[in-house]
Chains A and B, each alone.
Chain A
Amino acid sequence: SQKIEQNSEALNIQEGKTATLTCNYTNYSPAYLQWYRQDPGRGPVFLLLIRENEKEKRKERLKVTFDTTLKQSLFHITASQPADSATYLCALPPPGSGGYNKLIFGAGTRLAVHP
């Protein structure tokens, strides 16, 4: 079955540094991968989508890479700010779900940016 792995331990970094979060998956190659942000007491919020034929996608201070050989996506936040502190989840479609928007989510990595 499909398995998604994200760092379970919190990532603590200093303001201004680049945060890098990892999402590894096994057993198949998804057509795309999404990243979401979740703040305490709130639902996840969509950030970025990257497709299998795209190596990199950028949005403001965010950058996502997708390495289908390594079966890994990296999520970068440059010039991090305390307001970036949240849990970040990766999500991808399970096998056989084409056209139905179904996603399975990783457990998420909590990011804490310290002033």
Chain B
Amino acid sequence: RKEVEQDPGPFNVPEGATVAFNCTYSNSASQSFFWYRQDCRKEPKLLMSVYSSGNEDGRFTAQLNRASQYISLLIRDSKLSDSATYLCVVNKDTGFQKLVFGTGTRLLVSP
């Protein structure tokens, strides 16, 4: 079983739609969680951290369920510029940062 699992997609949605991505992780000792965004042939960039209480940044909402070992990302009012691959990321160790990335979920927003 992979340490971090995501549906690879692609998710094809029209502009203005709401879309949700899910991710599960296998190591219950995981300490911190993130969503990164990666555009084609570019480097990953941090989108947002994910907290147990849930957090929101504009159109983006992230949730963490430690009991189910499940992370989600919700994007409201999708824009064409949201088209990218969204990587679910888990840090297993607070001593040093060994980030474990999922394979990513590809989102395509069309006019």
A binds B: no
